[in-house]
Amino acid sequence: MPHPIMFSEGDMGLAEVRRIALAFPGASEKVSWGRPVFCAPKMFAIYGGSVKGDAKGEYLQYPHSVLIKVDDSDREALQQDNRFFYPAYLGPFGWLGLDFAAGEVDWAEVAELVDSSFRLVAPKRSIKQLDER
C-alpha cells in the first residue's frame, strides 16, 4: 500500500526548499513516503517530517519543515535550538529536522544546512563540480 501524499504544492517553504535543493549538481526530486525527497543520487533533503509521539503508533507531524543529514560535530549545537527536531526513522541515521513554523525562516541558513547535507552524501565528483561553480 503506497503512502498517502502528505504535502501540497503551495505548502509553506516547499518552493524555497525545491529551489535550493535542485540547484545542486545531479539533484533530482521524487516522492517517497508521501513527501518530496531530494537526491543526488542519495537523499540529502526531505520536505516535511514527524517525530514519534508518546502514545503507541502516534506521530507528531512537522509538515512544513526540511530534514537534513548533519555532521556529528554540529548535532549537539543544532539540537539546542528549539526549531530543530529529531525525526522519526531518520534521526538515528544522522538526520535532524528544521521546523519552518517555529519562527521566521532564514533561507540562507536553510541553504547552508542543505549544502552541508549534500556534501555528506554526494559523490566526490558532484562536490567538486559544486566547488567549481
| Sign of the alpha-carbon dihedral angle for 18, 19, 24, 27 | positive
Number of domains in the chain: 1
CATH number at residue 38: 3.90.1150.30
Q: Is residue 60 part of a domain?
A: yes
Q: Which pLDDT score is estimated for 1?
A: 72
Q: Which pLDDT score is estimated for 47?
A: 98
The pLDDT tens digits for 88-97 are 999 999 999 9
Q: Which domain holds residue 27?
A: 14-125
Q: Is residue 99 part of a domain?
A: yes
Nearest to 100 by CA among 62, 43, 54: 62
Percentage of residues of the chain with pLDDT beyond 90? 91
Q: Is residue 130 part of a domain?
A: no
Is it the case that residue 46 has pLDDT exceeding 90? yes
When pLDDT is averaged across residues 3-9 and rounded to a whole number, the result is: 95
Question: Is the separation of the CB atoms in 55 and 104 below 8 Å?
Answer: no
